[in-house]
Structure 1
Amino acid sequence: MPMILLDTRIDAPIETVFDLSRNIDAHVESTPGTREKAVAGRTTGLIELGETVTWEARHFGIRQRLTSKITEFTYPIYFVDEMVDGIFEMIRHEHHFESSDGGTLMRDKFEFRAPLGILGRIAERLFLTRYLEKFLIQRNSILKEMAESAHSEEPDTSTDTGS
């Protein structure tokens, strides 16, 4: 079964990164190439443990629907979304977060199984794994920009003693 592992260093607090990663509106904004939209379940705001979201998106020129459920959740360090309905045989996406050097290290572990038996295994090797990795890298890049932009706009609460 293919597995994609990604590490993304983000200069923003862990809570900001965690919440952006589970924010439906941020997901829509971070996937412009596939024009994803939430059409059922949680369709806006922060998704929580046990909730589902149904995404409609265009991949390979074909409009598809996929429903994911948040099956594990520990704020602000970890959550898992798993496909409960869609074209794939299986998708499991683990999101790990750890504070690191004043920012956050976001780790993705994305496992999937394509449909269609042996044809699916061939597709996984020929193009599907690369396609999904590129999709996740692009999404993470946009989430990074969003988190760092939000963090840089936060007011400085330190006090200047004027020494």
Structure 2
Amino acid sequence: MPTIHLTTFIQAPAARVFDLARSIDLHRISMEKFKEEPVAGTRSGLIEQGETVTWRAKHLFKSRLLRSRITEMKRPEKFTDEQAEGDFSSMRHEHYFKPCENGTILIDLFHFETPYGWLGKMVNTVYLTGYMKRMLEHRNEVIRKYAESDQWRKLLQA
């Protein structure tokens, strides 16, 4: 099972970064180029433990649906979302928020498995792992941009 491990430093308090990372509205902004839209479940605001969101997006030349559920949450330290329905055989995304002297270290552990046996493993190695990593890095950059400016207020204090 492939795992992507990212570490991102953000000059903002952990609670702010935590809330931005679970903001449906910021997720939509960060995934605009994929036309991701929430179509069911929690469709705006901050998603909470036990809630689901279903996203419709265009990835890899195909329109796709992914429903994920927040399975674990300990504010502002960590939360986990897992695929409930979608194209992966399994998907688990762990988000950790470690306060440090001048901000927060955001740690992502993204575990996924694709169907199709050896062919799926080859696609993971050749393309999908890099694609997912770039997408997560872009998302973290958007979180960083909002957290380090006054833009976070629009999303979290609305």
Which TM-score band applies after superposition, normalised by the shorter structure? over 0.9
Tell me what 2:156 maps to. Answer: none
Q: CA deviation at 1:32?
A: 1.9
What is the rounded CA distance, in whole Å, between the counterparts of 1:152 and 1:139 in structure 2? 14
For the Cα contact (< 8 Å) 1:12–1:151, is it kept in 2?
A: no
Tell me what 1:117 maps to. Answer: 117
What is the rounded CA distance, in whole Å, between the counterparts of 1:104 and 1:150 in structure 2? 17
TM-score with structure 2 setting the length:
0.94
Q: CA RMSD of the aligned region, Å? A: 1.3
For the Cα contact (< 8 Å) 2:97–2:106, is it kept in 1?
A: yes
For the Cα contact (< 8 Å) 2:146–2:152, is it kept in 1?
A: no
How many corresponding residue pairs?
A: 153
CA-to-aligned-CA distance 1:44-103 (integer Å, 9 cap, x gap): 000000000000111012110000000000000100000010011000000000111221
Tell me what 1:161 maps to. Answer: none
Q: CA deviation at 1:116?
A: 1.3
Q: CA deviation at 1:151?
A: 7.8
For the Cα contact (< 8 Å) 2:20–2:152, is it kept in 1?
A: no
Q: CA deviation at 1:26?
A: 0.5
Is 1:55 the counterpart of 2:55? The answer is yes
Secondary structure at 1:133's aligned position in 2? Answer: helix
What is the rounded CA distance, in whole Å, between the counterparts of 2:69 and 2:43 in structure 1? 13
Secondary structure at 1:140's aligned position in 2? Answer: helix
5+ long unaligned stretches in structure 2: 154-158
Amino acid at match of 1:59: H
Q: CA deviation at 1:107?
A: 0.3
Q: CA deviation at 1:152?
A: 9.3
Larger radius of gyration: 1
- Percent of aligned pairs sharing the same letter: 44
Tell me what 1:36 maps to. Answer: 36
What is the rounded CA distance, in whole Å, between the counterparts of 1:152 and 1:26 in structure 2? 9
What is the rounded CA distance, in whole Å, between the counterparts of 1:152 and 1:124 in structure 2? 34
Tell me what 2:129 maps to. Answer: 129
Tell me what 1:142 maps to. Answer: 142
Q: CA deviation at 1:149?
A: 0.9
TM-score with structure 1 setting the length:
0.91
